[in-house]
Amino acid sequence: MKKSIYIWLILLFNGNISQGQRSLIDSMALRWEKFTLKNGLQVILQPDLTQSEVAVEFWIHTGTRDEEMGKFGFAHFFEHATPYGLTKDTVLLNDFRSVRTNGNAQTRKDYTRYYVQAKASGLALALKYAADRFKADTSSITDTLIERHRRNVLNEMNRQETNPFFSPGASQIREAMTFGKDYPYGHGSYGSIKENEKFTKEDVRKWYTLHFFSDNAILFVVGNFDPQVAKSIIEKEFSGLNASGKSRKESYSIAEASSGSFTLPSELKSSFLSITWKTPSWKSTDNDRLQLLAKILDNRLSRDSTASILGSGSSRFFNPYEWAGQFGVFASFSSAADSDNIETYLLEHVNNIMAMGVSEDELRGAKLKVINDVKEMTNNLGFIGSRTELLGEGELFANDPDYYLRRLRRQSKLRPTDIQSTAAKWLKRKGGRLLLLSKN
């Protein structure tokens, strides 16, 4: 009798934990509305009157994967050189600048995004500015402008050489090792200095003409605004945009598993080793498990690190994309002579999970970390690490802005054996090893 009660209490405790996680997940549901204009422009509205500002962001379903061999880095270069809005109306432009509080852009493998944030009173101006970027006269893209943007891009590339995750040279090799150099994801976002030095105004004009169409875009309005007012403005400003009429490629051939071993001198203050593997596409349920595995490895690596290790983890290299994904482990360390030991240390942690699995406590902690990450994103209006990203990738890759909730609900039901079997499925082969040796 006592044994039966004990088992019942354990099941009740585990059930309460799962129910608590489910309640927390449900509390993160974002209230949104989606519609599509006749020209194919997809629109997601996410009103939140608790905010004081409004974010307007649009994504072009074009990224580094669309670049041609020999022109790697061009999507990023174009992001810098994309024509601005309201350039022919100085009064409106100044009015827009007076209400804008933030703005930025980002190039990713599957899309390019453009973001502005403004005072709530600036909704109409922010939408007009965004729409105007689709109406550019490409003759305004001049040699002078290209050279100005080139200087900015090259300066950014030079700054990133001290970043082990995004340095142009390192990311170029790492992506090729992960996906294969001939796969659309098999190169870094910056390309080389030599490639960036050759981009011309004709290249920028052509890219704009090929990709800046209403049916290749998603528009987001997030924050303090009236949905009916926003719809009226969007209809006025965006309904006249041209559609390409082209069908998007829904999938690509599966990336072949690649690997290799490279050593590069670097400008880093310490040496850095990464090992990466190719993993499945963004929608794969295996990615639910790999995300949790990355969190578990973050904890194990930070807990068990040696004196030589300055930092280590996994989540920074968990990158699922539309057609394939990347998983990795990494460590920065003080003594270059320790590189072989560091590699052994990283692989031992991966192999140990494949052989021995993970504990219930580890998995529960990983689930809570993922939930907290999403919770933090729901607090941000727009751009990187925001509710826009949650809704947008769900819409872009799965035609479902609530996909992030469905993923969290699936993750809440996973067991330790699920993590172990998925690790064995994707990480048993040799990964791509990149060693960045500090000159310091």
Residue 28 lies in a domain: no
238, 269, 284: which is the final residue of a domain? 238
The DSSP bridge pattern shows strands 325-333 and 309-313 to be antiparallel
Does residue 215 sit in the same domain as residue 276? no
pLDDT at 3 over 90: no
More confident residue, 13 or 193: 193
The mean pLDDT value of the chain amounts to 92
Q: How far apart are CA 294 and CA 274, in angstroms?
A: 14
Query: pLDDT-derived band of residue 256, with 50, 70 and 90 as boundaries?
Result: confident
As a whole number of angstroms, the distance between CA 350 and CA 423 comes to 8
CA distances from 155 to 33, 191, 384 (A): 40, 14, 22
310: containing domain: 260-438
How many whole angstroms from its chain centre is CA 424? 25
Q: For residue 247, is it within any domain? A: no
**Of 205, 238, 271, which closes a domain?**
238
Residues 86 and 208 in one domain: yes
Cα–Cα separations (whole angstroms), residue 18 to 15, 22, 294, 367, 404: 5, 6, 21, 10, 17
> Are residue 82 and residue 113 in the same domain, yes or no?
yes
Cα 340–chain centre separation? 31
Same-domain pairing of 416 and 283: yes
Same domain, 82 and 177: yes
CA distances from 86 to 90, 92, 93, 113, 330 (A): 7, 7, 5, 18, 45
Residue 20: pLDDT band with limits 50, 70, 90: low
Q: Does residue 300 sit in the same domain as residue 343?
A: yes
Specify the pairing of strand 217-223 against strand 53-60: antiparallel
| pLDDT of the residue at 415 | 97
pLDDT band at 249 (very low <50, low <70, confident <90, very high): low
Q: Which helix (H) or strand (E) holds 203?
A: helix 201-211
* Residue 49: pLDDT over 50: yes
**What φ, ψ does residue 60 adopt, rounded to 5°?**
-100, 130
In the chain, what percentage of residues exceed pLDDT 90?
Answer: 86
Q: Which of 186, 208, 238 is the last residue of a domain?
A: 238
276, two tokens: 């990466």
Cα–Cα nearest to 359, from 419, 429, 432, 286:
419
Q: For residue 306, give Cα distances in angstroms to 96, 334, 345.
A: 53, 11, 9
Convert the pLDDT of each residue in 293-309 to its tens digit. Answer: 999 999 999 987 776 89
In a domain, 18, yes or no: no
For residues 62 and 170, state if they share a domain: yes
- Tokens representing 201 are 């105004």
| Same domain membership, residue 233 and residue 146 | yes
Residues recorded for the chain: 440
What is the arithmetic mean of pLDDT over 165-189? 95
Instruction: Say yes or no: 98 and 229 in one domain.
Output: yes
Report if residue 279 sits inside a domain.
Answer: yes
Q: Are residues 370 and 277 in the same domain?
A: yes
Confidence of residue 13 (pLDDT cuts 50, 70, 90): very low
Between CA 344 and CA 31 the distance in angstroms is 47
β-strand pairing of 432-438 with 260-266: parallel
* First-to-last C-alpha distance (Å) of the chain: 67
- Region 70-77: mean pLDDT is 98
Asked if 387 and 402 count as a contact pair (C-beta separation under 8 A), the reply is: no
Give the whole-number percent of the chain exceeding pLDDT 70: 94
| Mean pLDDT within 47-69 | 97
Look up the pTM and report it: 0.93
Give the lowest-confidence range in 97-106, 291-300, 312-321, 333-342.
333-342
For 61, which DSSP code? Answer: S
Residue where the block lists tokens 């990224």: 63
Nearest to 60 by CA among 104, 102, 110: 110
- 308 and 267 in one domain? yes
Query: Could you tell me where the beta strands, DSSP code E, fall in 257-339?
Result: 260-266, 271-279, 309-313, 319-320, 325-333
- 286 and 164 inside one domain: no
- Residue-level pLDDT at 60: 98
What Rg value do the Cα atoms of the chain yield, rounded?
23
Quick check: 264 and 436 in contact, CB under 8 A? yes
pLDDT class of 18 with cuts at 50, 70, 90:
low
- pLDDT (0 to 100) of residue 290: 98
414 assigned to some structural domain: yes
- For 77-106, give one letter per residue: b (16+ CB within 10 A) or e: bbbbbbbebbeeeeebbebbeebbeebebb
Helix (H) or strand (E) holding 349: helix 339-356
Mean pLDDT for the stretch of residues 135-151:
96
- Indicate whether 9 pLDDT > 60: no
Any domain includes 254 = no
- Give the CATH number of the domain where residue 233 resides: 3.30.830.10
Amino acid symbol at 417: T
Say whether pLDDT at 364 is over 60: yes
* Residues 332 and 309 sit within 8 Å (Cβ to Cβ): yes
Q: Do the domain assignments include residue 334? A: yes
Within 10 angstroms of residue 382's Cβ, the number of other Cβ atoms is 27
Let me know if residue 379 belongs to a domain: yes
Strands in 53-60's sheet, in edge-to-edge order, are: 33-36, 42-47, 217-223, 53-60, 112-119, 100-107
Count of domains observed in the chain: 2
